[in-house]
């Protein structure tokens, strides 16, 4: 039995081959992520304890709605208590971000994109708060504190 015949014009076949060869070469031109060797745009903080040991690392994509947390060393908390993250403004005022998950790697959902939440923040601080509460101000001193870093290209200064 003879297989079915599908007529394909030489032009259509050539176009298909050309697209198949060109697509992998053109893909980097419209890729939305950072180029090789370039960090993605975002916010990062390395928070240390008063004695200087690293306590918590936080990061969020610039336009993301999630803050990733890393606890390099497990932090033991008494029952009914949790670590709580704050954004610190240049004036020293603080705004609540959310409870820090107790796992080695966790996530804090953000109410708005990170660029809005951390637009004017110069630092991060962590306090010990009651589990399940959403405090408006810290209950005590910061147990971890660090700088809020911004990772993206700044516009060139005007000449």
> Is 116 inside any structural domain?
yes
pLDDT confidence band for 76 (50 / 70 / 90): confident
- Structural domain boundaries enclosing 117: 42-151
> Is 15 inside any structural domain?
no
> Is 2 inside any structural domain?
no
Q: What is the pLDDT of residue 33?
A: 52
Q: Considering the chain, what is the average pLDDT of its residues?
A: 82
User: pLDDT tens digits for 44-73?
Assistant: 999 998 888 878 999 999 999 999 999 988
What total of structural domains would you count in the chain?
1
Average pLDDT value for residue range 133-143: 93
> Is 87 inside any structural domain?
yes
User: pLDDT tens digits for 5-36?
Assistant: 545 455 444 444 545 554 454 444 344 555 55
Predicted TM-score (pTM) of this structure: 0.73
User: pLDDT tens digits for 87-112?
Assistant: 999 999 999 999 999 999 999 999 99
Instruction: Find the CATH number of the domain harbouring 128.
Output: 2.60.40
The Cα 127–Cα 156 span in angstroms is 38
> Is 86 inside any structural domain?
yes
The Cα 42–Cα 52 span in angstroms is 24
> Is 36 inside any structural domain?
no
Beta-bridge partners for 84: 99, 127
> Is 62 inside any structural domain?
yes
> Is 28 inside any structural domain?
no
Q: What is the pLDDT of residue 25?
A: 45
């Amino acid at each position: 039995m003879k297989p079915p015949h599908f007529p394909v014009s030489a032009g259509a076949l050539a176009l298909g081959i050309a697209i198949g060869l060109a697509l992998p070469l053109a893909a980097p031109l419209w890729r939305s992520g950072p180029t090789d060797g370039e960090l993605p745009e975002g916010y990062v903080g390395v928070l240390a304890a008063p004695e200087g040991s690293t306590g918590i690392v936080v990061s969020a994509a610039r336009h993301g709605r999630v803050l990733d947390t890393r606890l390099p060393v497990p932090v033991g908390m008494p029952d009914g208590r949790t670590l709580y993250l704050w954004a610190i403004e240049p004036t020293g005022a603080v705004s609540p971000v959310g409870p820090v998950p107790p796992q080695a790697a966790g996530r804090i959902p953000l109410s708005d994109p990170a660029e809005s939440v951390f637009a004017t923040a110069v630092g991060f601080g962590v306090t010990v708060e009651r589990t399940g509460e959403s405090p408006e101000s810290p209950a005590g001193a910061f147990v971890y504190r660090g700088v809020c870093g911004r990772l993206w290209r700044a516009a060139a200064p005007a000449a």
